[in-house]
Amino acid sequence: MTKILIIYTGGTIGMVNDPDNGMLIPFDFEQIKNNVPELSRLNYHLDVHSFEPVLDSSNMSPEIWKTLAELVYSNYDAYDGFVILHGSDTMAFTASALSFMLENLGKPVVLTGSQLPIGQIRTDAKENLITALEIAATKEDGKALVPEVCIYFDAQLFRGNRSIKYNIEKFEAFRSPNYSLLAEAGVHLQFHKNYILDTPEESLKLRTNFNSNIGVLKLYPGITPQAVLAITESKVDAIILETFGSGNTTTAEWFLDSLKEAIAKDKITVDISQCKKGSVQLGRYETSRELQQMGILSGYDLTFEATVTKLMFVMGLGLPIEESKKLMEKSLRGELTSE
Ligand code: ASP
């Protein structure tokens, strides 16, 4: 019988209204189970590991990502797939982080959650949970069909490190602007096999050492030297530059000088766009030419979530800085397209 481990971290899916003030707070897995009697009709062996305490995902951290990755790693041989129930707010960060921590993943790790708690009549939780389990169980020729960390939400399966939380209101909470869906659920589960990673030849490796000492500099017209220097002169080890369009910034001398100084101090600086769709192209406009010349790295079409977690991961490997820089511009888990 197919065996799946459900890891319940918290999130709206299992929340209930606090009787004192009506606010949504995380609650235990029992009430998820009670609300989905269909679970016992699935032809899988399901085990549940519940976090204690359960969390709103705004309280996620690299430490908890590590716990999650270790849970998958230590149970890897015993299960065919993993479903992680998680709040949607930071699900894309967790999915990206896990994709880097779990190298040579050959089994599905499907994150899901919901926009409405499972106890509410119009909830999206049941479909999300049941289909996530089906995806985690799907095999072809004895191999998992989706050997990736992915997010399943509102009938769509996304590569985890390509996804972003896009909508607070609609059931379609996620999008993957720069990568095709991995699967769609209608009457049938339709897998887009050309876009799914191949099963790795080597065995699973766990790498959980993350360095989270990162600064983020989001540009806007009128940004002041104080705001820029607060990041570039700080003690961070890396800077994410969120730029305009295809990677452009102001060409004001004070601004470019502050970046040059940061780079001279070995701060890894990555340029990603504030636009959600498309790729950074350094040197396309005059307003990005100097960035390229001074050694700012292109984040290409990375999401913000993947950039943050990839930097933490790469810096945690403890490699010489030039090697770390090379890894940042290379696809490690299908998170970017550089050509
Ligand atoms: N605040 C919740 C969380 O991320 C939202 C959700 O689950 O959708 O835990």
Ligand 1 atom closest to residue 89's alpha carbon, by position in its atom list = 4
In this structure, whether the domain defined by 2-206 belongs to CATH 3.40.50.460 is answered with no
What tens-digit pLDDT sequence spans the chain (339 residues)? 999 999 999 999 999 888 899 998 888 888 888 889 999 899 999 999 999 999 999 999 999 999 999 999 999 999 999 999 999 999 999 999 999 999 999 999 999 999 999 989 999 999 999 999 999 999 999 999 999 999 999 999 999 999 999 999 999 999 999 999 999 999 999 999 999 999 999 999 999 999 999 999 999 999 999 999 999 999 999 999 999 999 999 999 999 999 999 999 999 999 999 999 999 999 898 888 999 999 999 999 999 999 999 999 999 999 999 999 999 999 999 999 997
User: How far does the centroid of ligand 1 lie from the alpha carbon of residue 169, in Å?
Assistant: 12
Contacts for 68-72: CB closer than 8 Å, 24+ residues apart: 68/7, 68/9, 68/94, 68/98, 69/97, 69/98, 69/101, 69/102, 69/206, 69/208, 70/206, 70/208, 71/5, 71/7, 72/7, 72/98, 72/102, 72/109
Pocket test for ligand 1, best of 8, 12, 25 (most atoms within 8 A of CB): 12
User: How far does the centroid of ligand 1 lie from the alpha carbon of residue 84, in Å?
Assistant: 13
User: How far does the centroid of ligand 1 lie from the alpha carbon of residue 227, in Å?
Assistant: 31
Which residues are part of the catalytic machinery?
12
Q: Is 299 in the pocket of ligand 1 (CB under 6 A)?
A: no
Q: Sign (positive/negative) of CA torsion 241, 243, 246, 252?
A: negative
User: How far does the centroid of ligand 1 lie from the alpha carbon of residue 124, in Å?
Assistant: 13
Q: Is 124 in the pocket of ligand 1 (CB under 6 A)?
A: no
Ligand 1 atom closest to residue 113's alpha carbon, by position in its atom list = 7
Q: Is 26 in the pocket of ligand 1 (CB under 6 A)?
A: no
Contact 16, 25 (CB under 8 A): yes
Kindly report the CATH class assigned to 214-328. alpha beta
Ligand 1 atom closest to residue 10's alpha carbon, by position in its atom list = 9
Q: Which two tokens stand for residue 261?
A: 């100084």
Cα–Cα nearest to 136, from 148, 153, 125, 126: 148
Pocket test for ligand 1, best of 56, 61, 124 (most atoms within 8 A of CB): 56
- Residue that has been written with the tokens 């790693």 in this structure: 73
Report pLDDT for 167: 97
User: How far does the centroid of ligand 1 lie from the alpha carbon of residue 7, in Å?
Assistant: 16
Burial code (b: 16+ CB inside 10 Å, e: under 16) for 305-330 equals bbbbbbbbbbbbeeeeeeebbebbee
Q: Is 117 in the pocket of ligand 1 (CB under 6 A)?
A: no
Report pLDDT for 75: 98
Contact 213, 191 (CB under 8 A): no
Pocket test for ligand 1, best of 16, 89, 116 (most atoms within 8 A of CB): 89
Q: Is 14 in the pocket of ligand 1 (CB under 6 A)?
A: no
Which part of the chain has CATH 3.40.50.1170? Answer: 2-206
> How far, in whole angstroms, is CA 19 from its chain's centroid?
33
Please report, as a single letter, which amino acid is at residue 155.
A
Q: Is 237 in the pocket of ligand 1 (CB under 6 A)?
A: no
Report pLDDT for 178: 98
Which part of the chain has CATH 3.40.50.40? Answer: 214-328
Q: Is 87 in the pocket of ligand 1 (CB under 6 A)?
A: yes
Please report, as a single letter, which amino acid is at residue 113.
G
User: How far does the centroid of ligand 1 lie from the alpha carbon of residue 52, in Å?
Assistant: 17
The C-alpha atoms of residue 155 and residue 171 are separated, in whole angstroms, by 10
Contact 11, 113 (CB under 8 A): yes
Please report, as a single letter, which amino acid is at residue 52.
E
User: How far does the centroid of ligand 1 lie from the alpha carbon of residue 115, in Å?
Assistant: 8
Residue nearest to atom 3 of ligand 1 (CA): 87
Map the chain to HEC letters: CCEEEEEEEECHHHEEECCCCCCEEECCHHHHHHHCHHHHHCCCEEEEEEEEEEECHHHCCHHHHHHHHHHHHHCHHHCCEEEEECCCCCHHHHHHHHHHHEECCCCCEEEECCCCCCCCCCCCHHHHHHHHHHHHHCEECCEECCCCEEEEECCEEEEHHHCEECCCCCCCCEECCCCCCCEEECCCEEECHHHCCCCCCCCCEECCCCCCCEEEEECCCCCCHHHHHHHHCCCCCEEEEEEECCCECCCCHHHHHHHHHHHHCCCEEEEEECCCCCCCCCCCCHHHHHHHHHCCEECCCCCHHHHHHHHHHHHHCCCCHHHHHHHHCCCCCCCCCCC
Report pLDDT for 188: 95
Report pLDDT for 233: 98
Q: Is 128 in the pocket of ligand 1 (CB under 6 A)?
A: no
Q: Is 25 in the pocket of ligand 1 (CB under 6 A)?
A: no
Please report, as a single letter, which amino acid is at residue 271.
D
Map 29-69 to HEC letters: HHHHHHHCHHHHHCCCEEEEEEEEEEECHHHCCHHHHHHHH
